[in-house]
Amino acid sequence: MLQTLYDYFWWERLWLPVNLTWADLEDRDGRVYAKASDLYITLPLALLFLIVRYFFELYVATPLAALLNIKEKTRLRAPPNPTLEHFYLTSGKQPKQAEVELLSRQSGLSGRQVERWFRRRRNQDRPSLLKKFREASWRFTFYLIAFIAGMAVIVDKPWFYDMKKVWEGYPIQSTIPSQYWYYMIELSFYWSLLFSIASDVKRKDFKEQIIHHVATIILISFSWFANYIRAGTLIMALHDSSDYLLESAKMFNYAGWKNTCNNIFIVFAIVFIITRLVILPFWILHCTVVYPLELYPAFFGYYFFNSMMGVLQLLHVFWAYFILRMAHKFITGKLVEDERSDPEETESSEGEEAIAGGGAKSRPLANGHPVVSNNHRKND
């Protein structure tokens, strides 16, 4: 049974153009071809990435955060309350007024105490500024190194300048060590992102992030199986070209360097729009959709690869919407923040004054937040 499934899965007609077999891609005469077994190394490498990330965040990102005066803030913890905790975990983190009144009767607390409990409980679950900075620092470092390495791998190749050469001799195209390691490292990194996504900062596009990581892993793996390596290296380098800019903008944002953050964001937005919404669909997708049909009839692998590319392109359009929203905020004078993240929730920003009957709008502002007196904090 398993052997039958294995044979169907690796049927040449699924992966290769007509009249070609796996025998045509066996190593010979010093020429090495991509093999599915090559990708086994990516799983232990992904675990290695997680270990390296741990020590990087501990010994590099954390000291850097200290230099930028980014520190862990002590948050007031919600006192144990089984009734409120059950509601928080099962019904919602922000109860409506009618629910607050019901919970007040059930728990024996006042309405204000219930609202304060939920505020503090939400704050307990929110990632700290230091955690966000560490994560952005790690991704910035990888994406920058990956982009530089990717360009080094492809910039001297003829298909970097003439995309028709991507398919020259396909699929009998041998690989070189730089392509092999570029693929293994990129795929391992995305495996590590998928493994750590549950513990990373959860943003509004959490589901889209999972789809993106899975689609990327499938796309990189398939392109290796089917020897779409030349196209694959172009696509990976194209994606890395803007990602490190976004992560660096986040780092400066968390450090409070708003002007630097905004300036880098402008560069990121320009690069993102050009690479993801212009070059990718009109050059890369044109290369993978049109040019192969000039050499061989369409087969399953052709449709599958371009379908996954379509998924990524839709995600790029989705994220472009957030980028344009941030650009609009910047143009209108508002500070640029990561639209995918929920706003930072603190004791002051939650609006104690509004609960007490006062108005936050009537209070003086410090850094965009209402000023809360020390006496008020003590009453909490």
| pLDDT tens-place string over residues 52-96 | 999 999 999 999 999 998 877 766 778 888 888 888 888 888 888
Residue 115 lies in a domain: yes
106 and 242 part of one domain: no
Cβ(57)–Cβ(76) under 8 Å? no
Residue 232 lies in a domain: yes
Give the per-residue pLDDT at 364: 38
Residue 2 lies in a domain: no
244 and 108 part of one domain: no
42 and 102 part of one domain: no
β partners of residue 370: 365
Q: Which domain holds residue 117?
A: 82-125
* Number of domains forming the structure of the chain: 2
Count of Cβ atoms closer than 10 Å to residue 353 Cβ: 17
134 and 279 part of one domain: yes
113 and 260 part of one domain: no
178 and 104 part of one domain: no
Give the per-residue pLDDT at 246: 92
164 and 273 part of one domain: yes
pLDDT single digits (tens) 278-310:
999 999 999 999 999 988 888 888 998 899 899
Residue 349 lies in a domain: no
- pTM to 2 decimal places: 0.77
253 and 290 part of one domain: yes
Give the per-residue pLDDT at 8: 75
